[in-house]
């Protein structure tokens, strides 16, 4: 994942991946038919770990739902290479990667919507789902900016960016229920 996070995909060869994994190209081909399959496997592992982290955070008794986006920024930093590939470099890579991203986001969205409903009992399911979609969008956009150190959002202003992300999460959650 480190290679995919730092090198354009077209420039990575099977031999490069094999060398990084202390394997021969033949051994790598035994396990993975293509270098794209290596990437898909790495993204699949990351996706499962990401969903697990979201679920674990949402089940914590002391967790504030508004803190989820900032919590994930810290978590993503500890999983930087895989997270950078997932959030900043995997859009449109293949139909398999797009399917993985879609199903992962659907799982995360369902978990967030469930948490919104339990924390804001006056929210209807559609309202909670829209709020959850807003939080998921905030996570996606802030993660991409954070992991790429976007000069317009983050560069040199990490604490300010984190505060802005936290405030936006709180605003999304406080969206009034339509009358």
pLDDT in tens, 79-98: 999 999 999 888 778 899 99
pLDDT value of residue 51 = 98
Query: Does residue 22 lie in a domain region?
Result: no
Q: Are 147 and 78 in contact (CB under 8 A)?
A: no
pLDDT tens, 34-68?
Answer: 888 999 999 999 999 999 999 999 999 888 899 99
Q: Based on the structure, what is the number of domains in the chain?
A: 1
DSSP string for 105-165: HHHHHHHHHHHHHHH-TTS-HHHHHHHHHHHHHHHHHHHHHHHTT-TTTTTT-HHHHHHHH
pLDDT at position 40: 93
Distance (Å, whole) CA 168 – CA 134:
10
Higher confidence at residue 156 or residue 144?
144
d(CA 174, CA 168): 10
CATH number at residue 118: 1.10.357
Q: pTM here? A: 0.89
- In angstroms, the CA 54 to CA 63 distance is 11
Phi, psi of 170 (to 5 degrees): -65, -40
User: Does 93 fall in a domain?
Assistant: yes
CA distance 137 to 76: 16
Place of tokens 């900043």: 88
Q: Is residue 27 part of a domain?
A: no
Tell me the C-alpha distance between 71 and 141, whole Å. 14
Residues 110-135 pLDDT 10s: 999 999 998 888 888 888 999 999 99
Position 28 in a domain: no
Name the residue range of residue 49's domain: 37-173
Tell whether 24 is covered by a domain: no
Say what the pLDDT of residue 89 is.
85
Mean pLDDT score across all residues of the chain? 90
State both tokens at 135. Answer: 């939080």
In a domain, 32, yes or no: no
Return the percentage of the chain with pLDDT > 70, whole number: 98
What 8-state DSSP symbol labels residue 176? P
pLDDT of 179 reads: 62
> CA 142, CA 87: separation in Å to the nearest integer?
10
Query: Is residue 91 in some structural domain?
Result: yes
């Amino acid at each position: 994942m480190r290679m995919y996070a730092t090198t354009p995909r077209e420039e990575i060869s099977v031999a490069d991946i094999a060398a990084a994994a202390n394997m021969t190209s033949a051994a790598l081909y035994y396990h993975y038919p293509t270098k794209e399959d290596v990437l898909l496997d790495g993204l699949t592992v990351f996706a499962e770990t990401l969903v697990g982290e979201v679920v674990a955070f949402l089940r914590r008794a002391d967790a504030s739902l508004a803190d989820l986006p900032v919590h994930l920024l810290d978590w993503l930093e500890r999983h930087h290479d895989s997270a950078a590939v997932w959030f900043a470099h995997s859009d449109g890579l293949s139909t398999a990667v797009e399917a993985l991203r879609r199903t992962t986001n659907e799982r995360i969205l369902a978990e967030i919507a469930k948490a919104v409903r339990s924390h804001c009992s006056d929210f209807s399911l559609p309202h909670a789902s829209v709020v959850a979609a807003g939080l998921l969008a905030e996570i996606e956009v802030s993660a991409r900016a954070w992991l790429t150190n976007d000069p317009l959002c983050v560069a040199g202003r990490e604490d300010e960016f984190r505060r802005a992300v936290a405030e936006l999460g709180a605003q999304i959650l406080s969206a009034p229920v339509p009358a």
